[in-house]
Amino acid sequence: MRQPLDRFSERAGRFRESVIRGMSIEAAKYGALNLAQGFPDFPAPDALKQAACDAIMADVNQYAITWGDKALRAAIASKYDWHQGIQVDPETQLTVVCGATEAMIVALTAIINPGDEVIITQPFYENYWPDCVLTGATPRFVCVKPPLWRLDLNELESAFNEKTKALILCNPSNPTGTVLTSDEIQAVADLCKRHNTIVIMDEIYEHILYDGRKHISMAAVDGMDELAIVISGMSKTYAVTGWRIGTILASPELTKRMRQVHDFVTIGAAAPLQRAGVVAYHFDQDYYTRLAEGYQRRRDFFCDALKQAGLPFNQPEGAYYVMADISSFGFANDREAALSLVRDAKVAGVPGSSFYLNQTGGDHWIRFCFCKREETLTAAAQKLIEFAGTRAAI
């Protein structure tokens, strides 16, 4: 007779619930400020919200073309042109999906066969491991180490072998805040060419870079047309994480396969929100300049608070997260520290170990996100500094 546990797939049992989303639930439970999950608590641009309302009222309410609203793909292509200087054919190279989250699953599903390995840098954005489990990829981790969290290109190279099918990189990086230099990007591209390996670049933070850094898309690197799958989307750039609009740029051959997968997974992203996205992708340079400046102010403010709280960290170069070393708090591990923080200080962060497989590393780090209003960050900073004071007195 079938045992109760046989009702479930072995696959779904191999990964745990998201610690990031779990910390959001804890934040709500304790009425804490949520510096755990990376979503802005400030409004999306008015023009974008109006465009969504207009699209619904204009009855853009049925399925869009499965691989994305034509006008949206054209707008995305035109942004790649001025922002990255690359010519993209929206008819054959772009796919619109339900967030960068779906994009990663679609990309892996389209290329992975049983036994294929995927290289992932660790600490990694939490979704990448379940993505591998769901798509049958075998991850091979390359650690980036504190305090600088920089990619060691020799270590990366030694991870390549005959089973390597792809490399996943997040640039700018969640959770470490590092941004690859142009030399590093070129070196990664050279490695991928040498090993004929696809690189899946998660570039969801492509517009959030600090201190004058400029984003270089892997799609803009010479000779990567056939090997780069570039993932991005609207969530972070336009403060609409709930809209679930993601994008994939790749060669026509890869795109064809990914569109097929996407079609049967979700059919398509929300049609009126895709239509509204046309407005966003036509925002001018000024929007992106202000976006980066606003985040840089938040970064500077929050990093200053970490200093006042006596927590070591590496200043983020991009994205909107910072890993803080909480050893001085004196807890047994990061999970206990994060639980005490959310319960007692009413500030939620994410235990660093959740960015490592089987939580085997990162046990004296907490990741905080600073994509929040000034009032939220001011209140969180005050609570964090007070908490650090009480821990120091113990």
Ligand X SMILES: Cc1ncc(COP(=O)(O)O)c(C=O)c1O
Identity of the residue, 80 or 125, whose beta carbon is nearer to ligand X in the bound complex? 125
From 54-62, 97-105, 142-150, 268-276, span contacting ligand X (CB under 6 A): 97-105
Is residue 342 within 8 A of residue 348, CB to CB? The reply is: yes
Quick one: which segment of 7-15, 111-119, 233-241, 250-258 binds ligand X (CB under 6 A)? 233-241
Per CB under 6 A, which region of 98-106, 137-145, 285-293, 332-340 contacts ligand X?
98-106
CB of 331 to ligand X, least distance (A): 25
Cβ distance to ligand X smaller for residue 106 or 303: 106
Length of the chain: 394
Does the N-terminal peptide bond of residue 172 adopt cis geometry, omega within 30 degrees of 0?
yes
Q: Which is nearer to ligand X, 204 or 258 (CB)?
A: 204
Residues from 325 through 384 that contact ligand X (CB under 6 A):
none
CA distances from 368 to 25, 175, 196, 207, 210 (A): 16, 9, 37, 19, 17
Residue 131: which residues within 8 A CB-CB, separation 6 or more? 104, 105, 108, 137
Q: According to CB under 6 A, which one of 246, 272, 277, 351 is a site residue for ligand X?
A: 246
Does the footprint of ligand X cover residue 131 (CB under 6 A)?
no
Which DSSP symbol is given to 163?
Answer: T
> Taking the complex as a whole, how short is the minimal distance between the CB of residue 374 and ligand X, in angstroms?
21
- Which amino acid is present at 76? I
Place of tokens 């993209």: 88
Q: How far is the CB of 121 from ligand X (least distance, A)?
A: 12
- The CB density around residue 193, as the number of other CB atoms within 10 Å, is 16
Alpha-carbon distance of 154 to 337, in angstroms, equals 34
Per rule CB under 6 A, count of chain residues that contact ligand X? 13
Which residue number places its CB atom closest to ligand X? 99
Return left, alpha or beta for 243; rule: phi > 0 is left, psi -120 to 50 is alpha, else beta.
alpha
Within residues 21-40, the interface with ligand X by CB under 6 A covers 38
Closest CA to 227 of 195, 202, 259, 257: 195
> For ligand X, which stretch binds (CB under 6 A), given 73-81, 93-101, 130-138, 305-313?
93-101
Binding interface with ligand X (CB under 6 A): 38, 99-101, 125, 170, 174, 202, 204, 233, 235, 241, 246
